[in-house]
Structure 1
Amino acid sequence: MEKAEPPHGDAAGPGEGGDALREHGFARYGAEQLGITLTGSAARDLAGIREVCAALPPDPYAAGTNRFRRYSHAVYLPWKDELSWIPGTPDPVHGTVTDFSQGEGDPGRPRARRVLPDLPEGLRGNALLVRLLRWDIEQVLSLRDLGRRPLWAGVHLIRLGVDHPGQVAVSSPDCLHQDGGSASTFTFAHLISRTNVTGGQSVIATPGSAGLQPEDPWADVHAAFTLTEPLDGYAVHDHRVSHYVGPVRSGSGAGPGERSVLIVGLAPYVPQL
């Protein structure tokens, strides 16, 4: 198993679960904390998500970064325990697309408004994907009093892919950052697959470190770690920390390499009227 070295000494982090998220603004977890055993139907569902990740279209707003992505919206009604996917806008190339707003936390694209290809319709009923999304929602509801408001979910599949030695795939933004939004905005990451790559280190730092690189002497890093096993993940309470994922490069094995993740952003729905 690959071991990542923190950019500033030993910065392993506060631990796992909701208590760490409540106390520190971020937490780490894996399949065991999720209560998921990747056998039988769960293994088949994971294979289905990986199949979609392998065919993700290139990021239309990041040429040359070797980043591939799809994105959709869902809404959760706590008083009904009802999760519903929001239909995308018809598109001649991708079938449907969904608006994606990068907040002011992306210094490279402030207030940029974009559209991204939707998650395939068939994937939205994938039992493992729905289970992960509902688990994330449960964590947020246990931390914030949101039982009387719809909860908005942005569901993102992102693959960083490299085809040959020397190639680099870069996440976005390529610095410590915050996603923007209200004080009730949370982001969850679940590793879907990691094959024949190095790098991809996750770093959590203070809000004041946003815009810096983790190795910058002014960056105040809380934790640095590398997701290596299926469903390894972490959560951040956006306004309390900044975060970053480093670039990936080809590993020592033969063939291409990739790192695929499911990212779920959660925030209370804000009326526009």
Structure 2
Amino acid sequence: MEGLRERGFARYGAEQLGIVPAGSAAKDLARIREVFAALPPDPYAPGANRFRRYSHAVYLPWKDELSWIPGTPDPVHGTVTDFSQGEDDPRYPRKRRVLPDIPEALRGNALLLRLLRWDIEQVLSMKNLGSRPLWAGVHLIRLGVDRPGQDAVSSPNCLHQDGGSASTFTFAHLISRTNVTGGQNVIATPGSAGLQPEDPWADVHAEFTLTDPLDGYAVHDHRVSHYVGPVRAGSEPGPGERSILIVGLAPYVPQL
């Protein structure tokens, strides 16, 4: 992916992914959307109209093997996984959190696995990581609004970096977008982290809005900052939502 290599960010859609959203892929996408529709509220942001699940996986390049890491038993959600926003979230500095796991039934979804493997291929083509496990943080996020005047906010609500190493990458894949406005993505310089895109000191590279299923973008974390704006109810009656799959990839770092 040349844009990711040259500029630190790139956009793509279903065509670049090599996925035709019909037939079995359409059925798999429908199953993914069912899980998004039932996501639990973000326990750390009451009132933000944000819903999420999160799990870890590890990829062994020498075996071409992707394996989900079991979560920790939890009386409310069944299992949960540790989630770190990183030091770059000004509201949650160095705070340990746990989020409900991705359901076991979804972990074998062929389309989900295809997206994960596509992301991994892009990273392996850029970095010499074939001798180390690759760590994946897989995040399901839905911003949902029920009525006019309501908005749903992502986290962190500013230009930010994910706080990883020079080999950390983040991929986003739009799952659905229905009856909402807003949700604009912004890519800026690392020095713009902590600012709002409209701040005069923000140095913005690109602004765009994901609209079609499987539209997406990727960022090389230490080379850019990124942001997604709040979503608000659209003009049609009924609720609105923006559902997105976020995949963070980084080489596994031994702890001993």
Q: TM-score range by the shorter chain?
A: over 0.9
The aligned residue for residue 231 of structure 1 is 214
The aligned residue for residue 13 of structure 1 is none
Pairwise CA distance, 1:105: 1.7
Q: Any idea what SS the aligned residue of 1:33 has?
A: helix
C-alpha distance after superposition, 1:124-168 (max 9, x if no partner): 000000000000000000000000000000000000000000000
Pairwise CA distance, 1:63: 0.8
**CA distance, structure 2, for counterparts of residue 164 and residue 113 of structure 1:** 33
Q: Give 4+ residue runs of structure 1 displaced > 3 Å after superposition.
A: none
The aligned residue for residue 194 of structure 1 is 177
Q: Any idea what SS the aligned residue of 1:42 has?
A: helix
Task: Identify the match of residue 84 of structure 1 among 37, 58, 67.
Answer: 67
**CA distance, structure 1, for counterparts of residue 89 and residue 220 of structure 2:** 16
The aligned residue for residue 171 of structure 1 is 154
Root mean square deviation, CA, Å: 0.4
**CA distance, structure 2, for counterparts of residue 145 and residue 67 of structure 1:** 36
**CA distance, structure 2, for counterparts of residue 221 and residue 181 of structure 1:** 21
Task: Identify the match of residue 93 of structure 1 among 73, 76, 82.
Answer: 76
Pairwise CA distance, 1:110: 1.1
- 1:57 aligned onto 2:40: yes
The aligned residue for residue 269 of structure 1 is 252
- 1:152 aligned onto 2:135: yes
Q: Any idea what SS the aligned residue of 1:63 has?
A: coil
**CA distance, structure 2, for counterparts of residue 110 and residue 209 of structure 1:** 18
Counterpart residue identity of residue 108, structure 1: R
The aligned residue for residue 192 of structure 2 is 209
Counterpart residue identity of residue 199, structure 1: G
The aligned residue for residue 125 of structure 2 is 142
Identity, % of aligned positions = 87
Long gaps (5+) in structure 2? none
Counterpart residue identity of residue 235, structure 1: A
Task: Identify the match of residue 16 of structure 2 among 33, 37, 40.
Answer: 33
TM-score of the superposed pair, with normalisation by structure 2: 1.00
**CA distance, structure 1, for counterparts of residue 252 and residue 38 of structure 2:** 31
C-alpha distance after superposition, 1:90-140 (max 9, x if no partner): 111100000001111212211111000000000000000000000000000
Counterpart residue identity of residue 69, structure 1: R
Equivalent residues, number: 256
Counterpart residue identity of residue 162, structure 1: V
The aligned residue for residue 257 of structure 1 is 240
C-alpha distance after superposition, 1:186-240 (max 9, x if no partner): 0000000000000000000000000000000000000000000000000000000
Q: Any idea what SS the aligned residue of 2:213 has?
A: coil
Counterpart residue identity of residue 86, structure 1: I
Long gaps (5+) in structure 1? 1-17
Counterpart residue identity of residue 197, structure 1: V
**CA distance, structure 1, for counterparts of residue 39 and residue 111 of structure 2:** 19
The aligned residue for residue 8 of structure 1 is none
Equivalent positions of 1:10-21 (< 5 A) are 18-21=1-4
TM-score of the superposed pair, with normalisation by structure 1: 0.93
